[in-house]
Every structure is written in C-alpha cells, then in structure tokens.
Structure 1
Amino acid sequence: MDKHVGFGSVSSTDGTLVVPPEVRRELGLDNPDTVVEFVVREGEVVLLPRVAVHPNDVWFWEEGQQRAEREADEELAAGEVNPPMTGAEFLSHLEEVTGEKLGEGQ
C-alpha cells in the first residue's frame, strides 16, 4: 500500500536527490554511507535501501560460501561439532591429513 510522506528535490547543479527526513527515518537512510538502488518501474523511480559490501568481503556472499555457511549452521544446530583442539592436537591433525611430520620450530 502506498503512503505519501512528502516531496523531495533534485539539485539542479549536481543532481543530488534530497529525501524527506520522514522517509530517511522510516527506511533507515540516515547513515551518510547508506546505499540506495534506483529502479525505474513503469515510469516511476523506486528507491531500495541496500547494504554495501566492502570489496574485501565479497567472497563471503558468493553462493558457494553461503552454502558452506548454511551447512555449518545446520551442523551446529544438530550438535555435530567437535570441541576446539589444542595447538598440539591441531598440529597432530595436520600431520595426519598431510602425511608430513611437523616438528617444532617449523
């Protein structure tokens, strides 16, 4: 359902769009770093708030990583987790997996 909350404006010099304060508060757009997607739909402009992802974090949102995260969440929920290993246990595990002897100082 549409809700009319007022008018914004576009700066004639640089095209900056001014969003009414009521809209910014309701949609959480008060943060100056907020990202908004512009969609043109049947002659109207629709603004969609979006969460910006830092370029260093893009890998986390790729489908394969998200699938692995969901699997890990399911394992945690089912209690299918191993207790944390000590440093010595971890090195022993690595030796088993790699078949290499990991001595001290390496």
Structure 2
Amino acid sequence: MTIINVKSKYQIVIPAKVRKAAGVEVGDFLEAGFDKGKITLTPKSLLDRELAEALADFRAGRTSGPFETHEALMKHLKGAVRKYRTKRRS
C-alpha cells in the first residue's frame, strides 16, 4: 500500500504502479466515490473512452453523411479508403 499526499486544491497523484495495474491513462475518466470510510476511484469503461474520442471527432468536424441510400454510403466509404491508402503510400 502506497501513502500519497493531498496537495492544495485537494489534488493527488496516483502512483505509477497503481495506474498501470488499473490501466488508467492520461485523458481517462475516473468515478470518485466514498464507501464505508474509503475513497474510491473507479476507471470508467472502455466504451466511455471511445465515446469521448467519437465526440472529439464530431466537434473537430471529422464526420460524414447523412446519406440518402446505402449505395451513397458505400461510395463514400470506398472513396475514403482509396484516399487513405493513397495518403499512406506517400
């Protein structure tokens, strides 16, 4: 068990060993709680991280559509794949 210090503004640093064991990375969200005299920090699920990334993409304008038909969607996707492959080869 590692002892940590509560800084001004009630900030703490999660020790590297604990972060790694919990799989916590920069930008992750933790749920803070208090139960039976203990403060708990619980990492949110991977789905929450993916939703945050999707929201960031949306806010940055990295979206496509809406499409009127599935053919229009497929045409767009094939073009995007072609563009990605061309860019990757350069």
TM-score by length of 2: 0.48
Whichever of the two has the greater Rg, that structure is: 1
Q: Which has the higher contact order (CA 8 A, sep 6+)?
A: 2
TM-score by length of 1: 0.41
More helix by share: 2
